[in-house]
Amino acid sequence: AVAHRPRGELARRQSYSNARFTYYSVGMGACGQESQPSDFIVALDTALYGDGYPGPQCFKSITITANGKTTTATIMDECPGCPSGGLDMSEGLFQFFADLSVGVLYGTWYYN
């Protein structure tokens, strides 16, 4: 049998456009696990990160696009200084998109 979804109930994928991306020195993150600079991980702004330990977004996968490149990363930390929808990336993830000397990138991302 084929499952039918009622009209108007299509799930929307929450996405963030023109989001600000920076990088930071990773280590023990707010999700309670140690990360390495080469790991493709991100820190969410405080509002998106949420309350509790670990935060409700911890360990979720996201897809990020910037500079014509796309990859996935895992939410592992909180970024109190990030603007709404902004991400702080591990150095390895930032370098996937651009040289660290660029400092700030803008792009899009969404939860997988």
pLDDT for residue 52: 87
Banded model confidence at residue 8, pLDDT cuts 50, 70, 90: very low
- Tell me whether residue 57 is exposed, middle or buried, using C-beta atoms within 10 angstroms of its C-beta: 0 to 12, 13 to 18, 19 or more: middle
pTM here?
Answer: 0.86
Mean pLDDT of 34-54: 95
Confirm or reject CATH 3.90.230.10 for domain 15-111, answering yes or no: no
Give pLDDT tens digits for 47-68.
Answer: 999 998 899 999 999 999 999 9
CA angle 83, 96, 40 (to 5 degrees): 70
Domain ranges of the chain: 15-111
Banded model confidence at residue 1, pLDDT cuts 50, 70, 90: low
Q: Is the pLDDT of residue 41 over 50?
A: yes
**DSSP 3-state assignment of 69?**
strand
